[in-house]
Amino acid sequence: MINETDLMQLRRCVALAEEALDAGDEPFGSILVADNGNVLMEDRNRVAGGDHTQHPEFALARWAANHLTPDQRREATVYTSGEHCPMCAAAHGWVGLGRIVYASSSAQLAEWLGEWGVAEPRVRTLRIQDVIRDTPVEGPVPELAVQVKELHRRMRSAPQQ
């Protein structure tokens, strides 16, 4: 179900995640794509300022609510380097966006954090499907998940040594 176009969009998300990491934020990047394939909006994680709700998927959902009709939102796809957290999944659901494609899953991230001895986050790790109904969700993509893992490893290893 994940085609070459999807992979191209996901690679852009991973590049945005790396851009976030290089800027001192957490390595997550996402893009919003219209039904006709046009990229409407892209964003990356911006939590370094101290506001831990500054996730790209949340920003895309708010942008969509302000700029797209309900039909356009339903037909749009959100691509993201890492599966939505519960906050972002809820925002996606509340504004009525459509398909989600992710490079790596929340379960993978939880597994990596466990591997590195990092404490679990306060917000629980849930699948998107545990937060919203009726949204087509696809992922992970193994070859891209490896790249995402490396970004998270870099984030955890650099400042703590």
Distance, CA of 53 to CA of 37 (rounded, Å): 28
- Burial of 59 (C-beta count, 10 Å sphere; 0-12/13-18/19+): buried
- Which stretches of the chain bind Zn ion, using CB under 5 A? 55, 85, 87-88
Q: Which is nearer to Zn ion, 21 or 85 (CB)?
A: 85
How many CB atoms are closer than 10 A to CB 160? Answer: 7
Give me 2's structure tokens.
């994940």
Rounded to a whole number of angstroms, the minimum distance from the CB of residue 56 to Zn ion is 8
Q: Which is nearer to Zn ion, 18 or 102 (CB)?
A: 102
Rounded to a whole number of angstroms, the minimum distance from the CB of residue 55 to Zn ion is 3
Distance, CA of 148 to CA of 77 (rounded, Å): 20
Residue 54: strand, helix, or coil: coil
Q: Which is nearer to Zn ion, 106 or 147 (CB)?
A: 106
Amino acid at the residue 81? S
Q: Which is nearer to Zn ion, 3 or 113 (CB)?
A: 113
19 flagged as catalytic: no
Give me 156's structure tokens.
């955890």
Catalytic residue (choose from 18, 26, 42, 57): 57
Rounded to a whole number of angstroms, the minimum distance from the CB of residue 88 to Zn ion is 3
Rounded to a whole number of angstroms, the minimum distance from the CB of residue 58 to Zn ion is 6
Q: In what order do the strands lie in the sheet with 39-44?
A: 39-44, 29-33, 77-82, 100-104, 137-138
Q: Which residues are catalytic?
A: 57
